[in-house]
Structure 1
Amino acid sequence: MRQVSDRGYRKLFKNKTIFRQLMQTFVHEDWVQELDFNSCETLDKSFIADHYKETVSDLVYKIKLRGKEIFIIVLMEFKSEVERFMSVGLANYVGNFYMDYVASHKRIRKLPPVFPILLYSGSRKWNAPESLTDLIEGEEYLGDYGLRFKYFKIAANAFSKRRLLAIKNVVSTLFLVEGHYDLELLKKELADLYSRESDRAAVSLLLNWFLQLLKHGRIPPQASEALEHVFDSSKEVRQMLEVALQKERRGYFNEGKREGKREAERKSRREIALKMIAKGFELALIAEVTGLSEVALRRLKLEKPKK
């Protein structure tokens, strides 16, 4: 399940809309409102120490603040157990980042600011010290030479249902699913999000994540009703959902099916894929739903829909 969490969360928060919502909604610092989200991009690098590679994933964003580059690190912690010394791991991560930065920028005189975020999706309360100072006994004796480091914690299960319901964006809906599972509430919130959010790619990523939670038993099978409710007003997308759920429950093809029915199902999957492409869904979600490869879907995107 860790690999599913890793891939799913990385895909979610690599989306710029979802990253912007995370920052603007859950990081209450004045400077966040001055970030230029049009300039943000992710670095194709990881600085996780070997000790944490089995339980932690990471993203590094480069973004402009008042015209200058800063870096925002998002470490995603998936295991339920609370890592008491996570501030040590994050301090090491930032140190590794800076060492790499110095090596690749030979003429710099100063380093750029780095803002470290811990994003925790486990079930327990995250009560580990966020400041490295709080983990060092007698640190105050060292005065100015004591170590100073602190990370910013975002724990999905730390936010009340009322607060998340008031936010109404992709990230708050994600946190609702993980921290306050309620089928009827989930049906309403997913439907509202689908009709409200203009970034279809962001919605696609969330729905794909939701399908993965169903597939791997992280949420009850009855939660499929929430997805059915989301698309209740859209015939073609409802058809897409029914195919997806049938695939998850019984497998897409069984031995002994007639060739004619197999051909009909192939055509149905193709039609569903074309409709999802037209609506702007991500290829990863379309592939998950229809069983078609992303290569086949890219070919379909080049075809003109028949009138």
Structure 2
Amino acid sequence: MPRHDHAYRNLFGHPSMVADLLRGVIRQDWIAQLDLSTLERVNGEHVAGLHQRRSSDMVWRVKECDKHGYAYLLLEFQSRSDTHMALRVLTYLALLYEDIKRQGKLLPRGRLPAALPIVLYNGVPRWRAARQVADLVEPVQGLQGYTPSLRYLLIDQGQFLAEGGLPPDNLATLLFRLEHARSEDELREALQRLIGRLHEPALEDLQRAFVAWLRDVLLPERAPDVSIPTVTTLQELEAMIVQDRIDWSLRWKQQGLEKGLQEGRKEGESLMLRQLLVRRFGALPEQIDQRLAQASTDELEAWALNVLDARTLDEVFQHGQLTS
């Protein structure tokens, strides 16, 4: 499991973090119907066909206020855009419902509980993938009514921050600000607010999760040449950043800028090439989408040139560049 995913599981494994995400970031009217004090993490691993295990990143269950019903939250953590994210979410939700049915946890009259799939994205370029399954299906006249229509809720951290309006001391907001800090000063200001939020003894586990994420994941990514000492509290992290102010700032800004430009260019070229391939050859097999996602910038540029002369989809990928 990548360090980022493991760290996010620890952070969002705390009910206070999930409650703040719902109240402060999503902020939709239906949330008022939930009793957030009943948030309970449940097993996100499901058994698919042929006994293959499929797991969503995290699943939470919460009761409705003054009712016997409950709802589920499926959390998926992404650091890059995934073309078929909607299909993955549909699979996870279907397997979750099968588990609920198998365990005899259906609501009265045999109804399935409501569920909200959430994709939490922390990448620099904006999310580009389709947000509902129907957008991944080639349309056929007369079959539109049979196409799955599941939609997931996308939380693109950078976009939410750019739009503004997030509560400043909300735990999820502070995570987003730390993740997308463009300088040491922005990081330190968010860290100071986080220290103020996590002073309660009941939040000690969450504070340790934030320390581990900052020390082992975020700071090494932002400043790879800076030696990160072993620290155990947020206060020690803040002191360490202040002591290395000048050296830290230069590395932080340079790496953040280069990473954003490189990722944005690659994702843009991959999306454009996919659109050209679909227009020329129709719906693409899953292995082609995977190949596009894993390709280098040079490969994407070469394949884009091949589209002009290729007679089949296979010919696009046979050589770095087709000859006349």
| TM-score, scaled relative to structure 2 | 0.61
Q: Does the CA contact (< 8 Å) of 2:121 and 2:156 recur in 1?
A: yes
| CA offsets 1:103-122 (integer angstroms, 9 cap, x no match) | 11187622111111111123
Query: Identity over the aligned pairs, expressed in percent?
Result: 21
Please tell me whether residue 203 in structure 1 is matched to residue 202 in structure 2. no
Once residues 140 and 222 of structure 1 are traced to their aligned partners in structure 2, the CA distance between those partners, rounded to angstroms, is 58
Do the aligned partners of residues 88 and 230 (structure 1) sit closer, same or farther apart at CA in structure 2, a change above 3 Å counting?
closer
Find the aligned partners of 1:11 and 1:30 in 2 and give their Cα distance.
28
Aligned to 2:39: 40
Per the TM alignment, residue 71 of structure 1 is displaced from its structure 2 partner at its CA by: 0.8
> Counterpart amino acid of 2:10?
K
User: CA separation in 2, counterparts of 1:164 and 1:182?
Assistant: 21
Consecutive unaligned residues of structure 1, counting only runs of 5 or more, are 232-237, 246-307
Inter-partner Cα distance in structure 2 for 1:20 and 1:84: 29
Q: State the shift of 1:168 in Å.
A: 2.3
Segments of 4+ moved more than 4 angstroms: 221-225, 227-230, 238-242
**Residues 234-279 of structure 1: per-residue CA shift (max 9 Å, x gap):** xxxx59977xx9xxxxxxxxxxxxxxxxxxxxxxxxxxxxxxxxxx
Counterpart amino acid of residue 150 in structure 2:
F
Q: Which letter does structure 2 place at the counterpart of 1:22?
A: L
**In structure 2, how many angstroms separate the alpha carbons of the residues matched to 1:32 and 1:140?**
38
- Which amino acid counterpart does residue 62 of structure 1 have in structure 2? R
Residues in 2 aligned to 1:49 and 1:123: alpha-carbon distance in whole angstroms:
33
Alignment correspondent of 2:8? 9
Q: Which residue of 2 aligns with 1:138?
A: 139
Shift of 1:47: 3.8
1:85 is aligned to 84
Structure 2 partner of 1:177? 178
* Displacement after TM superposition at 1:200 (Å): 3.7
Aligned alpha-carbon RMSD (Å): 3.6
Matches within 5 A, 1:163-174: 163=164, 166-174=167-175
Q: TM-score, normalised by structure 1?
A: 0.64
Contact residue 170 and residue 203 of structure 1 kept, 8 A: no
Closer/same/farther in 2, CA of residues 145 and 239 from structure 1, 3 Å limit: closer
- The 3 A distance-change label for structure 1 pair 139 and 125 is farther
| CA distance in structure 1 between the aligned counterparts of 2:228 and 2:238, rounded to whole angstroms | 13
What does 1:25-174 correspond to in 2, within 5 Å? 25-47=24-46, 58-66=57-65, 67=67, 68-78=69-79, 80=80, 82-105=81-104, 109-138=110-139, 141-160=142-161, 163=164, 166-174=167-175
How many angstroms apart in 2 are the aligned matches of 1:40 and 1:76?
A: 19
Q: 2:303: which partner in 1?
A: none
Q: Report the Cα offset of residue 228 of structure 1.
A: 11
Q: Which residue of 1 aligns with 2:291?
A: none
**Which one-letter code corresponds to 2:192 in the other structure?**
A
Superposed displacement of residue 180, structure 1: 3.0
Encode CA deviations 1:170-207: one digit per residue, 9 max, x unaligned. Answer: 22121112223320121122112212444343333212
Consecutive unaligned residues of structure 2, counting only runs of 5 or more, are: 244-324
Q: Given that residues 46 and 95 in structure 2 are in contact (C-alpha distance below 8 angstroms), is that contact kept between their aligned partners in structure 1? A: yes
Is the 2:208–2:233 Cα contact (8 Å) retained in structure 1? no
The equivalent of 1:287 in structure 2 is: none
Distance 1:71 1:140, change over 3 A: farther
Task: Give distance in 2, aligned partners of 1:9 and 1:188.
Answer: 21
Given that 2:74 and 2:117 are in contact with CA atoms closer than 8 Å, whether structure 1 keeps it comes out as: yes
CA gap of 1:214–1:6, structure 2 versus 1, over 3 A, is closer
How far did residue 86 of structure 1 move? 0.9
Residue equivalent to 1:256? none
Q: Report SS of the residue matched to 2:57.
A: strand
Provide the rounded CA distance (Å) in 1 between the counterparts of 2:237 and 2:124.
34
Asked if the contact 1:40–1:64 (Cα under 8 Å) also holds between the matched residues in 2, the reply is yes
| Cα deviation, residue 14, structure 1 | 0.9
CA distance in 2, matches of 1:206, 1:196: 12
